[in-house]
Structure 1
Amino acid sequence: MGSAVERTDEHVREYLIYRGFTSTLKHLDGDIKADKEKGFRVDKIIDQLQQFVHSFDLFGLKEYWLYLDRRLFCRLEDVYRTTVNKLRTSLYRYYVINTIQKGNLEKTQEFFHKQASELQGQAEWRDWFILPFIPAPEQNPTFCPYFSRQWADTFLVSLHNFLSVLFQCMHILQLKLHFDAEVQRTTSLAEENEQLRQLLFTLQMESRDQRDEDEMVHHKLPSYVQNMDLLGDTELDSMTSQRTVSTATTPPRNFFSTFLPQGRRTPGKTPQFTSTSSPRQIAIGRKDPTTNPVRMRQVIPQSQLSTNQSTNHTTHPRHKRIQDHEKERKELLSKPSSQGEAEPVTETFSKPLESSSSNSRSGLGEGERGDLSEQPFIKLSQEEYGEHHSSIMHCRVDCSGRRVASLDVDGVIKVWSFNPIMQTKATVMSKSPLLSLEWATKPDRLLLLGSGVGTVRLYDTEAKKNLYEINIDETHPRILSLACSPSGSSFVCSAAALSRSGSCDSIPRPVSGQLVLWDTKTVKQQLQFSLEPEPVAINCTAFNHNGNLLVTGAADGLIRLFDMQQYESAMSWRAHSGEVYSVEFSSDENTVFSIGEDGKFIQWNIHRCGVKQSEQVLPQDATGPFVLSGYSGYKQVQVPRGQLFAFDSEGQHVLTCSSTGGLIYRLTNGELDVESMMSLGGHKAPVVTVDWCSAVDCGICLTASMDGKIKLSTLLSQKS
């Protein structure tokens, strides 16, 4: 309800600006700022009540509750009046207990003096008038439960749930506040259209394959393939890659094929040949690689069309044509060709054809081990984004899976898309060094950029402009990490002081830091978290699915778990001997995974503080520091900045870094199954950050390396 109201307010504002009703817009902004219902946001209402309690504002507390009663509670049925009265009584008791805990007995006596006429006739308040005169009320059996943290939390949660249900059941205006239902309906229609498109495409492919078997296609052959017509699809791919200098090293991505389920894919058909056909009479027709796989077609010159066409189907059965084809292929590969243009092809296929063909058709990259059936995924394609000219620090996909934002050590940010083609959408360059980035959740086109001079910018990737820039703290200028709440209403910013060496590129030892929560609507600081035992630099942050929990990893080796409803630390424990580089929630959110400077990949139980569920040591090329060697003994060393591991949509597999590409492990009870490891490969420099997007039909894995190259691997799960 709250999000729908906010969106409606934005639409009304846009309409007033479009119509030029500036005076009405000013009144609207004033009314929104003075809105006591806080846009039907329950968290804001709870915050307002707590503010009255902690500031000992009894008059404001009574007036605000009376407003809620007149505006909301009076519309409920009589059966809920008892619940409202109980919540009001608990709210007043919460106020009285707070005055005693803060040692302000004057406010305690003031409460009973002003409320005596109202409360003395109520049985539940009969014993409470003696409270100001008891020396140690927190030890009294009657009042002891109300001084516990458990009672306060139970009351606030009950009030929160009551208001949430109340707003959920409110009457929806004719102005269409139920945007969520509209979005859900639109999404379901889009999914249905996509399924129908998949079915249509599959039927078209089957019809085209059947037509290809019956038709004879005529076209002129390039000179260098006239003697290569009897080779298979894999041999043709290798031959053309050597003959055509301009061919890209990475094959183009088959976009439409990613929408087909594994069982419905149409493999390349075995070509049919006649015994009377010569190498000059056969050719392989290649279609657009972005739409169809390579397919072999038969071509017969016009001079022999009349004679061969009438005898092919009657004289030679299918099995005899296949036998003749195998015989001619063996002869072609064993004897050097007499034509000069065909000689290099014999050398190209000096390796066994069977292994070469299997690798090509399976789609597995170089360095992948194990049989195809043992791999958890099939790598459909791997593309390269090479617009960066220095090492990558961060590479993240937005929550919708449409855009990628990548940041290099030179401070250049590229915003690019990969569906249906890889294309750069925006380039951001900054005078001040940029150290971190994060996608906003609502709307997902916004990008948070953290600098090395204490500023955070909100950048609109569609309008290609900065919406605003905020200053965090001059004493902590290095913005190490940013995390946006799933609701999109706030974001967490981790800022750190300069390292003792004065460098912004490394942290030789733990330095001072702070963790701050900002409101994205008002662009104001909400609060600063307490970092115990001392303020320290926070390297990584992550929210759970609803934003109620925040986990952080710090330079002192501690993992801290924050309760975002109470805005305080719920627990913390020593996780690594050294810095914590990367931390994430598991799929069920009962555990937390972390990678640290000690090279360990550990799973922690968040219900039992500091209890390990699994631990595994990773190689150095998966945890850093990352080293790239150059000429004349030059070495480039990079401390981990971005995400070091990422999970698939079901949380059963994890993607990590390596020196040659990403590595995918299966998670078994939180431990990495080395036997089922799959290598994505493709890199010539160490991979420093990864990301896994499951928002599209096929999983998209991003691996970014120190040479500025980003590999985008499209995976298809082999699960039945």
Structure 2
Amino acid sequence: MNSVPQVDELVKEYLLFRGFSATFRSFEQECKNDKNKGFQAERIIDELYSYVANSDINGLLEYWKYLDLRYFSRLDVRFLGSVKKFETSLLRYYLVYAIQQKRRDKVLLFFDSFGTELSKNAEWSKWFGLPFSKNPATDPNYETFFTKQWLDKFTVSFHNFLNSIFQNMPHPSLLCFNIDRYHRHALQSEIDSLQGVIENLKSNIESADQEIASLRQKVQSREAGTNVRSRRRAKSLYDSKEKDVQDILRPISNGNRSSNLSPMKSTPNNKAETNSESNNGLKSPEVFSDDRSMTPISEYNSDDTQELPGEDINPFTILSQEIYLEHASGISLAKFSHDGNLIASCDVDNIVRIWNYTGASAACKIKNDPSSNILCLEWEARSDKLLLMGTDERQVRVYNRELKSVVHEFQTEERFPRVKQISYSPVESLFACSGSPKGSSDDSAIGSLMLWNLKTMSLKNSFVLDHTISKSGLPVVPIETIKFNHNGQMLVTGDRAGCIRIFDIRSLLPIMEWNLSKLGAGSSKKGSYIICSSQFSFDENSIYVVDEAGSLTQWSVHKPGHIITESQLAGFTSTFSSTLINFTPTPTKTFRKRTPSMSSVKSTKSNRSTSSVPAIMIGNETTHLMSTSRVPMVSFSGDTEHVVCVGGDGGHRGVIYQTSTGNQVQLLASHSQPLTAVDWTTTVGNTILTAASDGTVRVTKMVTTTSS
């Protein structure tokens, strides 16, 4: 980012050269009012400190909010704690500086404005006494913050933090060109220095080879002299031994040779026989290996996870897999919480459960009105406190896990009672949901997109879907999928007609749209265009789309309608049309993990509203069928490099695909019944849940495989 001022000057020079004087003046004015300060950390810190010096708390918080939306909110979740600590330290510096400048009125005004919010934070409990301390600089609670060392440490840490963000954020092509040129010059100088080092090493090797050759000649000459001396000494020793033997045998040969000779021969033979018997009596040690250690894991373990052969296959190592049976009937929805430790799951009896798969006790049961059906679930984006539930009777219920109750119910329009999807903003207390009619309507409007504010508990904005919104003549049908981008300023939607639309949150109007059917001439895309998933890529330069035909496509955000990659997800199941509501779970196997909430497994009659659902006869009992949405059956990893979908064995197992190629890279363990939902969290490592129509939920914990 050090070359940003240089690039700005080049742009100004080009604008003057082209005669764009008005653009030049506008660009120069925006450069003066640049809130990014040319991506220079020291200028940003100076701007923050200027608000502190002027005791302008509103300006300070406004500028910090801009930095949070522009940079901090798109960081990985593990850095959010650091951002919060920097914000706390900045506010404390504001108070310390005000005390040093004898502006106690500003300190009192600060606590009057923000005391209610800060009183909930234990870190601020002692700071409410700051305005009333006679000498805060010597008070043990505050003296550290009045030292120059603390301020210097905070400034350096924040400076390094900002520089790390600027160095690792995506750069535009113009800036990358200048950076690449700088890197080429640096690389060339490094190559030149390395070539000099190589030449020096070559000369050192040549001199070392010569020295080795001379040492070898010396060693050979010494060995020749040593061998001659050794042979002479060995010959003299042999002659002396031979003489000693002759001296010993001479008197024996003069006496009874045969009688004396027998003991001489028998002794060694007897000793040899004794050694032979001793050796025959000992058994050679044997190592007996465990039969299981020589057997593939799938043959002696209940886990039937399969690995795929080939390069860049099996990118994850599975640490554990546990099956949970929290529900007594088939599961329709299941999602990880924001922190990844809790799971919210809904069954076909409209019973929602929140439970902890890590062993901690956090289970709670939410019974819903039997006259309505739960169609979607969504967690609050920055905590595990709130759970949103969308129904087919105009309701979005907000459940507070701490209070264990529904704290509010949002009502949609009467003509759009079905709340099919909900997406929570990652940076604000906002959520978007889609509404659609239950059946065919005479009204030209066929759906809506609504934006709700959870702070004011009111509708912030809405957008009605009708045939007049599409400027390019694309079909308009109810929305199937909704997903925010990293900073909550845009969201992407997908529908059953294969239309992708990107909305601006501020106006809630579509800023671009295209259709899956308008692929290139060489595309292999055929069949259904019903969208199961659509979301921004990790770098937000593209959008990944999965449709019911099993096609995975990547579309450019900068060139609407331009396809980047296209692949077919082999094994992607597209035959799920219905799921039994009144389902009798199969007997639990020995490897299933039972929880305290399930004393027994039994078949229960579904409470789900089935007025518009077909029925079949099984024996003397009528069993209803419910259409299964494919939206919960697709989930991307946090870095969008992989996606897990329902597939394999007729939809009984989860399959992990690589998004860049669409290849199967890993197969998860199979369930006894078809899957109805999958989800992927990277907050607590790579953990995947797969939920099935028999009420089982399998949680698979994985780590990324490191190649040796």
TM-score (norm 2): 0.50
Alpha-carbon distance between aligned partners in 1 of 2:283 and 2:544, rounded to the nearest angstrom:
60
Partner of residue 483 from structure 2, selected from 538, 542, 546: 542
**Which amino acid in the other structure matches residue 470 of structure 1?**
F
Q: Distance in 1 between matches of 2:695 and 2:670?
A: 13
1:671 aligns with: 661
> Does structure 1 retain, via aligned residues, the 8 Å contact 2:303–2:669?
no
Q: Secondary structure at the match of 2:573?
A: helix
In structure 2, do the counterparts of structure 1 residues 642 and 464 end up closer, same or farther at CA, with 3 Å as the change threshold?
farther
For the 8 Å contact 2:480–2:631, the answer to whether it is kept is no
Instruction: Please point out which of 448, 457, 461 is paired with 2:397.
Output: 457
Shift in CA distance, 653/322, structure 1 to aligned 2, threshold 3 Å: farther
Task: Give SS of 2:662's match.
Answer: strand
How has the CA–CA distance of structure 1 residues 452 and 636 changed in structure 2, closer, same or farther, with 3 Å as cutoff?
Answer: closer
In the alignment, what sits opposite 1:224? none
Q: Secondary structure in 2 aligned to 1:480?
A: strand
Alignment of 1:137-536 (within 5 A): 170-171=51-52, 184-185=81-82, 323=286, 325=288, 354-356=294-296, 365-370=304-309, 374-421=313-360, 424-431=363-370, 432-500=372-440, 512-529=446-463, 531=465, 532-533=469-470, 536=477
Q: Counterparts in 2 of 1:646-661, with a 5 A limit?
A: 646-658=635-647, 659-661=651-653
Matched, 1:562 2:503: yes
**Counterpart-to-counterpart distance in 2, 1:461 and 1:620:** 38
Q: CA separation of 1:611/1:183 partners in 2, compared to 1, >3 Å: closer, same or farther?
A: closer
> 1:604 Cα deviation (Å)?
1.3
SS, match of residue 323 in structure 2: strand
In 1, Cα distance between equivalents of 2:35 and 2:511: 19
Q: Are positions 1:582 and 2:558 aligned together?
A: no
Relative distance call for 1:412 and 1:358 in structure 2 (3 A) is: closer
Distance of 1:158 and 1:643 partners within structure 2: 45
Any idea what the Cα deviations from partners look like across 1:394-444, whole Å, max 9, x if unmatched?
A: 211122112111122322111111224586244343333211111112443
Question: Cα distance, 1:516 vs. partner?
Answer: 1.0
Identify which of 662, 665, 685 aligns with 2:673.
685
> Please, which of 677, 698, 704 is the counterpart of residue 711 of structure 1?
698
Letter in 1 for 2:504: D
Q: 1:357 to 1:422 in 2, by over 3 A?
A: farther
Q: 683, 686, 690: which one pairs with 1:695?
A: 683
Distance 1:439 1:158, change over 3 A: farther
Asked whether the 8 Å contact 1:456–1:469 carries over to 2, the reply is: yes
Would you say 1:643 and 2:632 are equivalent positions? Answer: yes
Aligned residues: 411
Query: What is the alpha-carbon distance in structure 2 between the residues aligned to residue 537 and residue 167 of structure 1?
Result: 46
Structure 1 residue aligned with 2:557: 606
Cα distance between partner residues in 1 of 2:564 and 2:339: 32
CA separation of 1:522/1:321 partners in 2, compared to 1, >3 Å: closer, same or farther?
farther
Matched with 2:548 is 597
CA distance in 2, matches of 1:621, 1:572: 26
3-state DSSP class of the match of 1:681?
strand
Going from structure 1 to structure 2, the CA distance change for 1:526 and 1:142 (only over 3 Å counts) comes to farther
SS at match of 2:669: coil
Distance 1:612 1:644, change over 3 A: farther
Whether the 8 Å CA contact 1:628–1:685 is kept in 2: the answer is: no
Q: Aligned partner of 1:590: which letter?
A: N
**Which has more radius of gyration?**
2
- For the 8 Å contact 1:645–1:690, the answer to whether it is kept is yes
- What is the Cα deviation at residue 158 of structure 1? 7.0
CA deviation map 1:517-544 (0-9, x unaligned): 1111111211113542376311110011
Conservation of the 8 A alpha-carbon contact between 1:456 and 1:471: yes
Structure 1 vs Structure 2 CA RMSD: 4.5
Where structure 2 has 5 or more consecutive residues not aligned to the other structure, the ranges are: 1-18, 38-43, 73-78, 87-277, 518-527, 584-616
CA contact (8 A) 1:393 1:641 kept: no
Measure the CA separation in 2 of the matches of 1:419 and 1:157: 53
Question: Is the contact made by 1:511 and 1:537 (CA closer than 8 Å) also made in structure 2?
Answer: no
Q: Following the alignment from structure 2 to structure 1, what is the Cα–Cα distance between the partners of residues 435 and 32?
A: 31
Q: Is the 8 A contact 2:548 2:630 kept in 1?
A: no
Deviation at residue 322 of structure 1 after TM alignment: 6.1
Q: Distance in 2 between matches of 1:403 and 1:599?
A: 30
Could you tell me how far 1:370 is from its partner in structure 2? 3.5
Contact 2:378–2:389 (8 Å) recurs in 1:
yes
Aligned partner of 1:662 in structure 2 is: 654
For the Cα contact (< 8 Å) 2:298–2:304, is it kept in 1?
no
Distance 1:155 1:429, change over 3 A: farther
Shift of 1:704: 1.4
Q: For residues 167 and 494 of structure 1, what CA distance do their matches in structure 2 show?
A: 40
- Greater relative contact order: 1 or 2 (C-alpha under 8 angstroms, separation 6 or more)? 2
**Superposed displacement of residue 377, structure 1:** 1.1
Distance 1:390 1:511, change over 3 A: farther
For the structure 1 residues 372 and 570, does the alpha-carbon distance in structure 2 shift closer, same or farther, using more than 3 Å as the test? closer
| CA 487–713 in structure 1, closer or farther in 2 if over 3 Å, else same | same
**For residues 157 and 681 of structure 1, what CA distance do their matches in structure 2 show?**
59
Secondary structure class of the residue paired with 2:304 = coil
SS in 1 for 2:81: helix
Partners of 1:184 and 1:436 in 2: how far apart?
A: 30
Instruction: State the alpha-carbon separation in 1 of the partners of residues 283 and 572 from structure 2.
Output: 54
Q: Write the distance in 2 (CA, Å) between the matches of 1:185 and 1:615.
A: 39
CA distance in 1, matches of 2:346, 2:419: 14
Superposed CA deviations along residues 638-690 of structure 1, whole A, max 9, x for unmatched, are: 331543322323332221112121111233xx22123xx21112311222221
| CA contact 2:494–2:500 (8 Å) conserved in 1 | yes
Deviations 1:327-380 (A, max 9, x none): xx8xxxxxxxxxxxxxxxxxxx8xx9723468669x963444438995211111
**Offset, 1:708:** 2.1
CA–CA distance in structure 1, aligned partners of residues 416 and 300 of structure 2: 52
Query: Within 2, Cα distance between the matches of 1:491 and 1:168?
Result: 35
Counterpart amino acid of 2:448? Q
